[in-house]
Structures are given as structure tokens and as C-alpha cells.
Amino acid sequence: MCMPLILYASHFAFIEPEISEKNFVMPQHNAFYVTYHVKWNGKNGTCYLNLTNGNKVESTKQNTSNEENCSFLLENLYYLTTYTFLVFMTHHLQFLNTNFGHHCIYNYKAVLGFLGFLIFVTSLALLFVMYKIFALQRKRSRSVSALTTFSSCPENLLHVEPISADALVDTYRKKIADEGRLFMEEFQSIPRIFSNYTVKEAKKSENQSKNRYVDILPYDYNRVSLSNGGRHDYINASFIEGYKEPNKYIAAQGPKDETVEDFWRMVWEQKSSIIVMVTRCEEGNKNKCAQYWPSVERETEIFDDFVVKIKHEENCPDYIIRQLSLMNRKEKAAERDVTHIQFMSWPDHGVPGDPGLLLKLRRRVNSFKNIFSGPIVVHCSAGVGRTGTYIGIDAMIESLEAEGRMDIYGYVAKLRRQRCLMVQVESQYVLIHTALIEYNQFGETEISLMDFHSTVNTLKQREGNEPSLLELEYQKLPKFKNWRLSNLAATEENKKKNRSSIVPYDFNRVLVKLEEEEGHNSDAEDEEDYSSDEDDETSTKYINASYVNVWVSGDVVLTTWIRVLVLQEFCAQYWAEEKKVFGEMEVEVKETESTPTYIRRRLQIQSTKVKESVTSEQYHFLKWAGHELPANPLDLIDMMKSIRQNVGHGNSRDNISSPIVVHCNDGSSRSGIFCALWKLLDSADTERLVDIFQVAKGLRKERLGMFTSLVSLCEQYQFLYEALQAAFPVQNGEVKKAAASPDSNPNAATASPSPQEGTCESSCVPEKAPSETTTNGPTVTVEV
């Protein structure tokens, strides 16, 4: 409201002008309009107006109109401010002044409108912030719930107690009984996909081509996001929690050709230094993964912004280790080292027959870990089955070491909450249990060559009548009784073909095709599953022979070249100096080379029905008499070196490894030692590591009678340690390869028929070996 006008008048001796009307108007809340009607009583004068705010003169205005009306418009004043107006009227050097005060106000309607608008905008902003906070808290709580509790699906998940180390074997026996009913119930109770977690990013149209499989999609809440932003930050990969370690792993699908650059970007941004690849690029004529690293021949590959170089590649029996360097062309940072470990012994559908292979893989991976690197990238083809199994084994071993117990069921459920279908099939779920049994029962038995001699000396030490550590280790070897069938060898028709009670298992027996199918190649590589189905039994001939897993490290081995090793003196002679026919096979010795320790014969085998022939090299070892072991292990090792040197002779056509036929009196006692030593030498040469316990255990699993000699229960096992000591002696503190045995001097070789050829008998009395039951049992790979 306007304050009342205060008018003051000063009187002089002259006749004053008369003010008959005065008016004050506020056209705006910060403006004044002042008018006066003045009767001058003579000549018209001039009106002035001074506007003051306190002691400060704001403005001065004048009105020189000769009319009797004086008016002033004062604008753009301060709101809520009191102003004083002083009006002067001059007339013939005389003046009249009048002053008054007035207070400016606000336009309350405009203020209220503005305040309302401001409150509305502020409320919207506050609601948006509250929504974001709520969404973030919901995301975090959902993530925590996924990693800690399973209460969201109580109708599906079972209450399965963690398993203590002491109860692991008994729990396994209980669950594997009744055809694994409890294992099946547990596995099937875990949801394959937790539908309360969204997969919106993976389903966007621009991202669908980046998924290898339409049903294997990462959850939004824990997917790996690339820094590209916008529509280009997607990759089919998920962060996975380890044992009490967030984001220890990244589980990813095998890269596609169009996502290789994204894969390397993920590795770069996450600072990952280890990639575990649990697949081949092709399996069963199906593409499983793009080759996202350079070959040794090309050395360097460029994937958009990233340059990948291969520094070194090491081929080992079950995996390949590649040392790579990674450089981002958009960053000036130095190149980074990445270790790429590709596991080669895992079928796409199924599990490895020996869980010890995965424990070995885990040891290799952990040997390259460092505290400064990012998550370990693990991938197969889909990034769920084999990937989840490896992660589960690694995490549960850490739990076993830290707490003495493991919650396998709970952790697999936790994995499924982080990525769908992790541990994809029941056999993989069972494999986690068997791997933990293997680890808990046998521990670490691998020895580096640098520590080998000192370790062997420690193992051989004994106190009084107590067994040595080496003998205790041998006693831990499982016997694998009742775990596989040998029904075919036990038939009346085939019993007469067995030299002893040691017979092949049905699952890995060698198949010899019947006459009408002999045109079909029956090499080991064609019998991928070692099947013992009825169809195979009715279409093959029985022979007492087993496939065993012996890795041949040669780059080129021909299917037309078969190495036959004779490790005993008394057997039916299946060769002759001149051509000789055995049924439908004609055999001729083409060349003979003799050394003091072995004879090498080149045999040509011709089919009388099919005009095809193969060439075979036979190595006949001469330094193994009776039940005794070779006096000098180097004699046997030198013959092995000769075999390796001759790999690849002949007309090369294929890059397929053909099997080595090893036979002795029973196919197990001496043959087992040879196969074990062959594998150990390969491991020592390629990895500088040996694991005699695991090699012996693996051979026992594949054929009866391995390392069960009656001469000494531990003598054959100890011979392997002594042979490796001889093969890799210590010189000046360094492990060296042994020189050749004097008896195996190649200069002593001759090319004439050997006089020893007639020492083999046409028949002999079957020799008894320790009897092992052949009844059926659970097909597991650990002794429980």
C-alpha cells in the first residue's frame, strides 16, 4: 500500500503559486507518476523534482512546460524501497517546494506465480533424484541378494548343507548312489535362468548380432560395459564373484568375428592379464570361437584400435600357453602382457575323464596371477558350461583351503544368479565334486625339475621301520576296482585270446573290424568315444589291447606309420626275415638296425584282400629280462629318443597322430612303465614339471594291472623317479639333459637281419598276474 503523502510548504513574501490539484499514481510496483495543477499567479514558472533514497540522490527531473500542469514519471525503481520526492516550483526567482515519501512494493501475483513454478521444477528435480537413488539402492540390494541369499526362489532351491573336507567322500557316495539321484535332484532344483534379472541390453536390436547364442544373455545388473558408450558399450560378458572376492572373473562367450575388437577392448579396459580359453575354435565341424590372437607365423594381428602380438607359444599335453602383448593405438601407455591358456582336452558336450587335468589347469593359471591385474577372463563357446565349471572348482578349492568346507550347491546357485546356465549340465556339477575329492585326497603332487632331485631324496628317506614318503604316496594310488566293465574279454570265445587275467576294459578296447568292414580305417582317431555298444561288439574282432592317453608331441605323425614296441623276449613271433602270411596279412622285414640296447625293424604290412600297405617301425628292447627292471634307465630313454627322431619319416600326407602300439607279456606291467615314462619326459621337456603320481593314477584307470607288479609293490613306481633323475641330472646347480647311454651308440647300428629274431616262441604258457575284479561299478574317475 502507498504511504500517505506528506506535504510541506514554505511561505515567502511574494505571492505564492497555488496548487489546486495534486495526484500520485503507481502504474507499476516500482514506478511513480506524479502530477500537480499549479496556479502561477503571474508568469508561468518551472517545476523540478528530486528523488532521493536515504541521503542518495537518485535522479532529478524538470518540467519546463508553460502549462499549469506539472507531471513526472519515475520508473525502474527498487522494489520494497522508500523514496522521498522534493518538488520545486520557481517563479521570478521565488520558489515553492513540496516533499513527500512513498514505498515501492512487489507484484505479489507475479511472485506467487514464479514461486509456484520454482517449487514445481524443484519438486520434479527432487523426485528424479529420489528415483535415481531408489533405483541404485534397488540395483545394489538385488546384486547383494543375488550373491548372498536365495530367498527369492524358496520354492525351487533346496537346503543343502556345506560339505566338510572329512565328509566329502561319504557325501559323494551318498549322492552318486541310485544312479546319482541326489545329484540330479540338486542340480535340477537350481533355476537355469533367474527371470527377475533383466537382459534388456542384450535384447536390443543393435546388440543381437553380438550374441553367439540367443538364449545365453548377460544380466543387465552385472554385465561388462565397454567405454564406447551409447549403443556400442555392449559385450556378452558378466562379472563373476569368486570366493569372497568381488569381480574376480569375467565369464564371456567365445568371441565372434565381429566382436573380436570388443573382446580386446574389454581385456584392455578391465586390465586383465590372464585369459582362460576352455574350448577349441572348432569342435565337431562347428565353429565355437573366432581365433582372436595371431598365429606364430603371422606374429601380429590388428583389430581396429588394438594390436596383438604373439611372443611365445608353448604346446603342452593338455593345453597351450601363449604369451601375448596388447597395445591400444589410441593410448600412449606401454603395451601390456597377456597370458593366454587354451585347454585342449575338454569335449564340447561332456566332461574330461580325469578331474586332475582341471586341477593342473588351475595350477597353471594361478602361476601367472599377480595382485595388480584385473579379473581373469574365462570363456568357452557360450561362456556358461565349461566356464562355470572351471570357476566353480577354483572358488570351492579356495573355500576348502580357507574354511575346511565348501558349499558347492550354494555357489552354483550363486553363479546362476550372475550368469544364466552357469554349470550347464549335471555331469559338470558332479565334476566339481570329483575335482574337490581329487584335490582333498591327493593334494599337490607336481614337482618342478629344479626341485626334483631334492624332492626325491626327501621322499626316499625313512625313519626306522616306518614307510618312506614315496611308499606312502604309492599307497595312495587308487586301484579303480569295479569302476568299468570288461564283459567282452570274459566271454568263452575270447578267454583263450588272453595271455593273463589282465584284460581290457570295454570302454577303451581297441576295435578290429570284421572282414566285411576292414576297408574302414580303425585308427584311434576314428574311435572318438571308445564305444562298447552292442553294434561295436557284433562288428569287431576281440583283441587284448587298450587305448591309453599318451600324448605324442611330434608335429607330423603319419597314419601310415605305426610304431610297435616289443618289451619282452617271449611272445608269438609275428614277423619273419622273409615275407610271411598271417591270415589275410602279409608281413615283410624291409630293414633292420641293431644297437646293443634295441633293434629297429622296418616292416611292410600288405593286405591280401585290399591292395593297400602300411609301413611300421618296430622297436625291440633288449635290456629287460624277466620280472626285473632295466638296470640302466637311460637305455629305455635313449630308445624313446630314437622313436621321436624318426617321427615323420615317409611320404607325409596327414597331420593326424597314429597310435603307438606297446606290448609286453601282459600289456600292463612293462607297457605301463613305458607309457608313464613317455608322458613324463614330454611334460619335463615342455613344462619343466612332472607329476609321477597323476601319470601312474591315470594309467591305472585305463588298463588293469598297471603298477601292480608282485616283485615289489613300489619298485616300478620308484623306477619312474630314478629314470627321471637319470634323464635330467644336476650339473653345477642346473638341471641338464642326460647324455646318451654308451650302449646305445648309433654308430653300432647295422642294417642286417638280427640273430635275436628267432628267440621268440610261437606260444607260451599264460602268466598269472594279480587278479582284479571286472564287475560293474560307478563310472567315476576318482577312487571313493
Half-sphere exposure of 213 (CA within 13 A, CB side): 18
pLDDT at position 66: 54
pLDDT top residue among 17 and 527: 17
Banded pLDDT at 529 (limits 50, 70, 90): very low
Q: How confident is the model at residue 510 (pLDDT cuts 50, 70, 90)?
A: low
**Burial of 739: CB neighbours in 10 Å, binned 0-12, 13-18, 19+:** exposed
Q: Where are the alpha helices (DSSP H) in 159-289?
A: 168-189, 200-203, 260-269
Taking residues 597-617, what's their average pLDDT? Answer: 86
Whole-angstrom Cα distance, residue 45 to residue 35?
Answer: 15
Please give the Cα distance from 615 to 608 (Å, whole number): 15
Nearest Cα neighbor of 668 from 504, 510, 543 is 504
pLDDT at 563: 58
Query: Which of the two residues, 431 and 496, has the higher pLDDT score?
Result: 431
pLDDT over 90 percentage in the chain: 43
User: What letter would DSSP give residue 546?
Assistant: B
More confident residue, 332 or 266: 266
The answer on pLDDT for 180 being more than 50 is: yes
Q: Among 49-53, 115-119, 292-296, 577-581, which stretch is predicted with the lowest mean pLDDT?
A: 49-53
- In the predicted structure, residue 82 carries a pLDDT above the cut 90: no
Cβ within 8 Å of residue 112, ≥6 positions away: none
| Poorest-pLDDT segment among 128-137, 379-388, 482-491, 554-563 | 554-563
Q: How far is CA 55 from the centre of its chain?
A: 83
Give the C-alpha separation, 336 to 371, whole Å: 15
Beta bridge partners of 315: 320
pLDDT for the residue numbered 83: 77
What global pTM score does this model have? 0.70
Residue 183: how many other CB atoms lie within 10 Å: 20
Q: Comparing 79 with 540, which gets the higher pLDDT?
A: 79
For residue 120, what pLDDT is reported?
Answer: 85
Instruction: Give CB contacts under 8 A, 24+ apart, made by 731-736.
Output: 735/449, 735/450, 735/452, 735/453
For residue 96, is pLDDT > 60?
Answer: no
User: Residue 116: its pLDDT value, please?
Assistant: 80
Phi and psi at 501, nearest 5°, equal: -80, -5
What is the structure's pLDDT at 560? 39
Report the range of poorest mean pLDDT among 12-21, 440-449, 700-709.
12-21
**pLDDT higher at 54 or 206:** 206
Residues 307/373, Cβ–Cβ less than 8 Å: no
pLDDT attached to residue 681: 93
Q: Is the pLDDT of residue 512 over 90?
A: no
DSSP β-ladder status, 447-448 and 56-63: unpaired
Convert 140-177 to b/e letters by CB count within 10 Å (16 or more is b).
eebbeebeeebeeeeeebeebebbebeebbebbeebbe
Average pLDDT along the chain? 78
Answer whether residue 503 shows pLDDT above 80: no
Euclidean distance between CA atoms 342 and 728, whole angstroms: 28
Most confidently predicted of 233-242, 456-465, 644-653, 736-745: 233-242
Q: Set out the domains of the chain in order of their start, with CATH numbers.
A: 18-106 (2.60.40.10), 165-442 (3.90.190.10), 489-547 (no CATH)
Mean pLDDT of 41-56: 70
Is 773's pLDDT higher than 70?
no
Q: Nearest to residue 482, comparing CAs of 191, 773, 136, 60?
A: 773
Cα-based angle 223, 228, 229 (whole degrees, multiple of 5)? 70
Among candidate residues 70, 289, 380, 675, the one labeled active-site is: 380
> Could you tell me which residue, 128 or 523, shows the higher pLDDT?
128
Q: What is the dihedral of CA 622, 627, 631, 635, to 10 degrees?
A: 40
User: With 60 as the cut, is the pLDDT of residue 724 above it?
Assistant: yes
Class of residue 324 by CB neighbours under 10 A (exposed 0-12, middle 13-18, buried 19+): buried
Known catalytic membership, residue 2 = no
Which backbone phi and psi does 561 adopt, to 5 degrees?
-120, 120
Average pLDDT over residues 168-186: 95
Query: pLDDT confidence of 151, banded at 50, 70, 90?
Result: very low
CA distance 575 to 577: 7
pLDDT value of position 658: 72
Residues 778, 779, 780, 782, CA torsion sign: positive
22-31, 164-173, 323-332: the lowest-pLDDT one: 22-31
Residue, of 461 and 111, whose pLDDT is higher: 461
pLDDT for 30 equals 74
pLDDT given at position 662: 86
Please give the torsion angle defined by the CA atoms of residues 487, 491, 494 and 499, in that order, rounded to the nearest 10 degrees.
Answer: 70
Contacts of 56 (CB under 8 A, 6+ apart): none
Note the pLDDT of residue 419: 98
- pLDDT at residue 133, rounded to an integer: 81
202 contacts: CB under 8 Å, gap ≥ 6: 208, 211, 217, 218, 220, 223, 234, 236
Q: 83 with 53: CB under 8 angstroms? A: yes
Instruction: Identify the pLDDT of residue 159.
Output: 93
CA separation for the pair 591, 581 (Å, rounded): 18
Indicate if the pLDDT at residue 746 is higher than 70.
no
Q: What are phi and psi of 139, to 5 degrees?
A: -65, -45
The span from the first CA to the last CA of the chain, in angstroms, equals 100
pLDDT at position 392 is 98
Cell of 359: 586341477
Taking 90 as the threshold, does the pLDDT of residue 566 lie above it? no
Mean pLDDT to the nearest integer, 405-411: 97
Clarify whether 47 is annotated catalytic.
no
Where are the extended beta strands (E) located within 558-698? 561-566, 580-582, 585-594, 598-607, 613-621, 661-663, 689-690
More confident residue, 602 or 274: 274
Is the alpha carbon torsion for 206, 209, 210, 216 positive or negative? positive
Pick the more confident residue, 370 or 652: 370
More confident residue, 391 or 613: 391
pLDDT attached to residue 614: 86
Contact 432, 423 (CB under 8 A): yes
Segment 129-137 shows an average pLDDT of 78
Average pLDDT (65-71) is: 67
Q: Between 614 and 290, where is the model more confident?
A: 290
Task: Report the pLDDT averaged over residues 535-560.
Answer: 46
Nearest to 3 by CA among 72, 103, 85, 116: 103
pLDDT at residue 678, as a whole number: 92
Per-residue confidence at 714, pLDDT binned at 50, 70, 90? confident
Q: Does residue 152 have a pLDDT over 80?
A: no
Describe the crossing of helices 426-442 and 385-403 by its angle, rounded to 10 degrees: 30
- Kindly name the residue from 47, 289, 316, 664 that is annotated as catalytic: 664
**Contact, 567 vs 628, CB < 8 A?**
no
Cell numbers at 644, concatenated: 621321436
β-bridge partners, 321:
314, 341
Q: What is the pLDDT of residue 124?
A: 87
Q: Is 705 exposed, middle or buried (0-12, 13-18, 19+ CB in 10 A)?
A: buried
* Side-chain-facing half-sphere of 496: CA atoms under 13 Å: 3
Q: Find all residues with CB under 8 Å of 59, minimum gap 6, and list them.
A: 50, 51, 74
